[in-house]
Amino acid sequence: MSSSLLFNVTTFLFLISTILFFAYMASKNSSLGLGASLAAFIGWGVETLAIILRWKESYDMGHGHAPLSNLYESVVFFAWTIILIYGIIELKYKHRIIGAFVLPFALLGMAWAQLGLNSGIEPLVPALQSNWLLYHVITCFLGYAAFAVACAISIMYLIKARSEGENSTSQAGGMISMFPAIRVLDDLNYKSIMIGFPLLTLGIVTGAAWANYAWGTYWSWDPKETWSLIVWFVYAAFLHARITRGWVGKRAAWLSIIGFAATIFCYIGVNLFLSGLHSYGGGR
Amino acid sequence: MSTKKRTLTESLWDFFCSLKLSISLLIGLAVTSIIGTVIPQGNIPPEYLQTISEAKFRLYQSLSFFDMYHSWWFMLLLYLLTVNLVACSIKRLPHVWKMVTEPALVLDESLEKSLSLTYDFKASSSELDKLKGFLKAEIGEPVLSERDGVFHLFAQKNPWCRLGVYVVHLSVIVIFIGALIGSFFGYKAFVNIVEGTYIDTVFTAKDSPIKLDFGVHCEKFSVEYYKTGAPKEFKSILTILENGQPVKGFTRIPVIVNDPLTYKGITFYQSSYGQSGDGAVYHFNVALRIGGGSTNFNIKKGERVTLSGGATLELLESTQDVRQYMPEFSGPAAKVSLVMPGKSPESFIVFKNHPEIEEQRRGELVIQYAGADEKLYTGLQVAKDPGVWVVWFGCTLMVIGIGMAFFMSHQRTWIRLGNGRATLAGTANKNPAAFERKFEEMVEKLKTL
Ligand code: HEM
């Protein structure tokens, strides 16, 4: 069995889960919801195995390293962290329906990785040969995943708030009635960011520590660094906005969505559109 | 006049204490930071300059867009943030400090009204000790006070976590201080050392020399490759010299990417390498393909030698390890151009480790490459930053502070006991849902106490 087969199984299970979540939303049949969650969690388990297997495969090829070294591996890992954070929030707060908005993110990631990215296992260029890579990438991506979940929740918030505003009784309104109350969504948005913000902070700190260790400067205003700081500023603004009155609800939801858009730009856009030290795989 | 002045100071103070200012500054920093990720910073590549008009260039220059993170207006935003942070903390900290150090011990009517979690039950004053033990087990050591014949018990958990936010804010300032120390008392520089030589001067980005009070000797530089031809390791062997003598413990230290060498607060990082062109001599050997009779000869780069029989040979390129260009081969290789008398030049590659390749080439002469006593230089990044420990201290504070602020909750509970009745009341500053569950559990336990 190869890791790439398992990654395909994962992608398939995330697809099944997404479809079941939509069916659950349309039908309100709770066993569909249970099936959707199970498919997501089994997919996550399979993906865990796949990642471990890929790790082992890299050792078999003679240049063993953690599977976190290029765009393909990071996208796959991102999908894994998204389901992990979603799982924690579902188990803790029991609002399964959030999965309908989170799973598409994970599915999109896996599908892109499997169909569009080079999945070859390559040896590590000297710049990446450090344990700091592990700490840095893991903390950053867990943070990003929490922001992805917060963004999904914010989208639900905006949909729900709008439908309540219109006071509609259409079919869509029927689906939306399954969403948690907007007060709960607002709170969950905040809670997800409370998970993501400390992790992003740790990610930036470990990145700075690594840069200092490898290059002698903890901060060089490289585009990737700067964008991670931009993301950090946006969520810091979000946290402070909550303390002042009038910034809960819609505006908080928008800030969370903008924050996630900045996160995605930091992760992918910077590599595509801007140049710098971080262009994955290119080394320094 | 004086009252007017006071109101001005007051309104200035209010301005700097406002959270709206903080949010605007944070968003402002986020938005302006984008500029420097789109416009190149520092040394601007000439290709970029050709893509923008003269007027745009002058505009960018006047706004310091080419070095925006050190521009006066970006610094101003950072200083405003600092002032805002300090002002806000000065305004709020005393109140929070008081809440931590002088908690309300008595559950009076106004306090009770402000709390959403309360529970009334029957209890006689003889049960005081039992209730004390209960609070101690559930929350923490209770404080007893008596007012008008009524007993008040107060117990709390994690009061210090209220200071978490201020630890975070302090950490931001500590990090700024660390960065300032680094920029005033440290430097970033660069130096190339040719194998077998030493240096005692490094150069900053503006090419100004900095003299070290010790020397750095580079014994050897080497590159290792993966089978695929991708580089695996860049390694310099360095020795620190004091008065020309090697320093014990700093002799023949391998320095690779991600594993630097620090001496007297100055750190050397493996950064680049190259061939030190001057004076390298390349060794070749020539023989007739039929008849043999080999001769050794030396050549320098760019030089043309005439071989017996009138052929001329020129060395075009050479490498210490060909694997990076041709993964199927390894070892030193040279690209040469050979001109046989009356023929047009032909160029080909000869490999030190693969003489059979040359033997298979057609032509009258067999040229073999025997390697070079060519020297490499190692390029080292040099940094001195006495502020870096302050920065790490600030980062640690920040992580601890965020942990305190987000994941710990200041829980306060009171029990008022008198006139045959008791009231349990409680509140928490974070995670109200979790505290509500805990409060309900406490109520259940009280029922069976
Ligand atoms: C412009 C500068 C800033 C000012 C004036 C400011 C002010 C404040 C104030 C007044 C609070 C509320 C404290 C309370 O609840 O009593 C707060 C909370 C907080 N601040 Fe700041 N802050 C600033 C910058 C920052 C920055 C750069 C960070 C970066 C990590 C930060 C992190 C936090 C956190 C984590 C909280 C707690 C939020 C929560 O409990 O949800 N602050 N800040």
Tokens matching residue B117: 């979690």
Query: B19 vs A270: CB contact, 8 Å cut-off?
Result: no
- B437 vs A191, A228, B444, CA distance in Å? 18, 37, 11
Q: Taking CB atoms and an 8 Å cutoff, what residues of chain A touch B230?
A: 122-123, 125
Neighbours of B325 (CB within 10 A): 12
- B164 vs B158, B183, B266, B406, CA distance in Å? 11, 29, 35, 8
pLDDT > 70? residue A41: yes
Q: How far is the CA of B89 from the centre of ligand 1 (A)?
A: 9
Neighbours of A17 (CB within 10 A): 28
Tokens matching residue B111: 């306090």
How much is the pTM?
Answer: 0.83
Q: Which of A127, A221, A167 is nearest to B71 (CA)?
A: A221
Atom of ligand 1 nearest to the CA of B406: 40
Q: For residues A256 and A183, give the distance between their C-alpha atoms in angstroms, rounded to a whole number.
A: 15
CB B142 within 8 A of CB B392: no
Q: How confident is the model at residue A245 (pLDDT cuts 50, 70, 90)?
A: low
Q: Which of A46, A58, A59, A53 is nearest to A14 (CA)?
A: A46
B110 CA: distance to closest CA in chain A (Å): 24
Return the residue matching tokens 């045959």: B420
Return the residue matching tokens 């109101």: B7
* Alpha helices, DSSP H, located in B63-101: 72-101
Question: Parallel, antiparallel, or unpaired: how do β-strands B282-288 and B292-299 relate?
Answer: antiparallel
Q: What's residue A284's pLDDT?
A: 28
Query: B258 vs A240: CB contact, 8 Å cut-off?
Result: no
Between A63 and B273, where is the model more confident? B273
- Is residue B258 helix, strand or coil? coil
Q: For residues B186 and B161, give the distance between their C-alpha atoms in angstroms, rounded to a whole number.
A: 36
Query: A213 vs B395: CB contact, 8 Å cut-off?
Result: no
Question: Parallel, antiparallel, or unpaired: how do β-strands B150-157 and B333-339 relate?
Answer: unpaired
Between B142 and A243, where is the model more confident? B142
> Among all residues of chain A, which has the CA nearest to that of B261?
A213
Q: What's residue A171's pLDDT?
A: 47
Looking at the complex, does the CB of residue B180 fall below 8 Å from at least one CB of chain A?
Answer: no
For range A11-18, the mean pLDDT: 96
Q: What's residue A246's pLDDT?
A: 65
pLDDT > 70? residue A172: no
Tokens matching residue A195: 């998970």
Q: To 10 degrees, what angle do helices A30-60 and A71-93 make?
A: 140
Q: Could you report the per-residue pLDDT of B32-72, keeping only the tens digit for each?
A: 999 988 888 877 777 787 888 888 888 888 888 888 898 99
Tokens matching residue A184: 């709960």
Q: What's residue B294's pLDDT?
A: 84
Q: Could you report the per-residue pLDDT of B301-318, keeping only the tens digit for each?
A: 778 888 877 889 988 888
Nearest CA, atom 13, ligand 1: B165
- A274 vs A19, A218, A219, B84, CA distance in Å? 36, 20, 18, 33
Looking at the complex, does the CB of residue B166 fall below 8 Å from at least one CB of chain A?
Answer: no
What average pLDDT does the structure give for chain A?
A: 88
Q: How far is the CA of B397 from the centre of ligand 1 (A)?
A: 14
Nearest CA, atom 2, ligand 1: B85
Question: Which of B34, B41, B232 faces A221 most closely, judged by CB atoms?
Answer: B41
Q: Residue B374: how many CA atoms within 13 Å on its side-chain side?
A: 23
For range B104-127, the mean pLDDT: 91
Q: For residues B107 and B416, give the distance between their C-alpha atoms in angstroms, rounded to a whole number.
A: 6
